Structure 1
Amino acid sequence: MPQITANGITIEYDEHGEKDAPPVLLIMGFGAQMTLWPMEFVEAMVERGFRVIRYDNRDVGLSHKFDGVKAPGLIKLTLLGKFGITPKVPYTLSDMANDGAGVLDALGIDKAHIVGASMGGMIAQHFAAKHADRTLSLTSIFSTTGNPKLPAAKKEAMKVLITRPASLEEDALVAHGMKLSRTIGSPAYPADEDKLRERVTASVRRSVYPEGGTRHLSAIVADGDRRAMNAGITASTLVLHGEDDPLVPVDGGRDTAASIPGAKIKTFPGWGHDLPTEMVQTLADEIAAHAKAA
């Protein structure tokens, strides 16, 4: 896969579809590589007439790593937040949105449809707010606003997300990744065990970098409540969320839609915090229709 220099760092990306097709920029979530966007979904969007660009966020996958840059721990971040103090973090979600804009710059793309999942949805909100002139439409997938009054993640989901693997041996990493996928995944669409193992193993062999997740988490917590920022988003916005998401409860999606003027929301029973094969065509239909209408 190719690399580019964007926003002062090296970013790994790939693209699919015709160069002159409307571009869609896919932004993945916390600690997740761009390959978590299933190729089935990418191909479905290409079939619907789009040029699809995926990229590894900073500090994950094959993009730039901020080695040695320390981030405050979760307890410190939480305490500072309760006292209304914005902690100093290595970088912000706004910085990460600027990475996305840098990817478009490097590819010579003026405007794109912005699609973000989970933390990627938070980054996409920043993109649409701060790069309005480059946002053809916004789609926020199982994401949230940072509103402190919203329901928290289920304890078991948060625990497995922030717990580091027992070791960096491949077997331990794969077992941890499979446990995470099963814990936060869709109850209506449980992953086939062999296919899940194959996917997680491929991810582990591509890149393992737990330190990046610590800095991602600090950026999320430090970002606080985005509702005031979201009120200024002018892009046509679609929110997609699973009604059985254990990590970001569906109220987060509803709050996102409520915070963005004119936003529409669609929720789906049985869908959790993943992109199961059974949902690919539905999600592609929703996003493509929304993008074309915008």
Structure 2
Amino acid sequence: MTTRVAANGIEIAYESFGSPDGRPLLLIMGLGAQLIHWDEGFCELLAEQGHHVVRFDNRDVGLSTHFHDAGVPAMGTSSAYLLDDLADDTAGLMDALGWPAAHVVGASMGGMIAQTLAIRHPARVLTLTSIMSTPSPAAAPPTEAATAVLMARPPADRAAVLAQAVQTWSVIGSPGYELDHERITALAGLAYDRCFDPAGTARQLAAIMASGDRTALLAGVTVPTLVLHGEADQLVPIAGGQATAAAVPGARLVSYPGMGHDLPRPLWPDFVAEITKLTSA
């Protein structure tokens, strides 16, 4: 069941898995991605390992508050908000949940938000897991092909959105694993029906680009940190994971051959085992 709560002056939609008595684990999704992009099966695997899992919609996606009045950001103009604000939203959600602190897992832009949360609100983060992310866009620029799908014009109708999703993941997904066209299409359809707001995604992208380099600030992060990254990632190449691990003292990098910018189902048991090892220490 999806619940909406007040957090940092906006409303955030979230869902939870597992026992409320479990170790609190917060999942932060990436650019333009909704809470449903954390697969239920993956969340349930984490819950089975003793976690109380919460997945949520960042601002400007899904059922959380959208900043429609900010419009579509023009290239080179100021952004409506920064990753700092998204991190503060996350801390606000934790307040609403009654969580003084949590184990935090972020993927892609979600990894950037998780890093920012650990910098801005260090007492709220028990452990940090940064997946297919980077401390700075400059540390791991996307390939030409990945840039093309990232900057593609949003389709005008539902059928075109579904077709574009398959095309996008065929480029940035994991070449070492079979592309599940049926699942990608179904998820794209569910996301479209739940909320379709390309301008919100553009505002999130502007926030990433305007938020600068976290490398120096990550040197002050002292919580146990895990970095997971695909060696075949075209959107955020492996250099981003390497830079994150190098920036956080004591961070451990685990990389996966054949993994691109997604979470291949065959790797879920390994991801869950690595995260659980971190949160159980």
* TM-score w.r.t. length of structure 2: 0.96
CA distance in 2, matches of 1:255, 1:147: 11
Partner of 1:240: 228
Mapping for residues 166-185 of structure 1, pairs under 5 Å: 166-167=155-156, 169-185=157-173
Q: How far did residue 151 of structure 1 move?
A: 4.2
| Structure 2 residue runs without a partner (length 5+) | none
Q: How far did residue 107 of structure 1 move?
A: 0.9
CA distance in 2, matches of 1:22, 1:10: 24
Partner of 1:62: 63
In the alignment, is the contact (CA less than 8 A) between 2:13 and 2:56 conserved in 1? yes
In the alignment, is the contact (CA less than 8 A) between 2:134 and 2:140 conserved in 1? no
In the alignment, is the contact (CA less than 8 A) between 2:140 and 2:238 conserved in 1? no
Q: How far did residue 196 of structure 1 move?
A: 2.2
Instruction: Indicate yes or no: 2:34 matched with 1:3.
Output: no
Partner of 2:35: 34
Partner of 1:222: 210
Which segment drifts farther, 156-165 or 123-132? 156-165
Partner of 1:205: 193
| Structure 1 residue runs without a partner (length 5+) | 78-87
Q: CA RMSD in A?
A: 1.2
Runs of 4+ in 1 over 4 A off after TM superposition: none
In the alignment, is the contact (CA less than 8 A) between 1:71 and 1:218 conserved in 2? no
Partner of 1:260: 248
Q: How far did residue 54 of structure 1 move?
A: 0.5
1:161-192: per-residue Cα shift (whole Å, max 9, x none)?
1212331x110111112211221100111222
In the alignment, is the contact (CA less than 8 A) between 1:89 and 1:222 conserved in 2? yes
AA aligned to 2:115 is Q
Instruction: Indicate yes or no: 2:239 matched with 1:283.
Output: no
Distance of aligned partners of 1:128 and 1:52 in 2 relative to their CA distance in 1, 3 Å threshold:
same
CA distance in 1, matches of 2:140, 2:241: 11
AA aligned to 1:196 is I
CA distance in 2, matches of 1:132, 1:151: 25
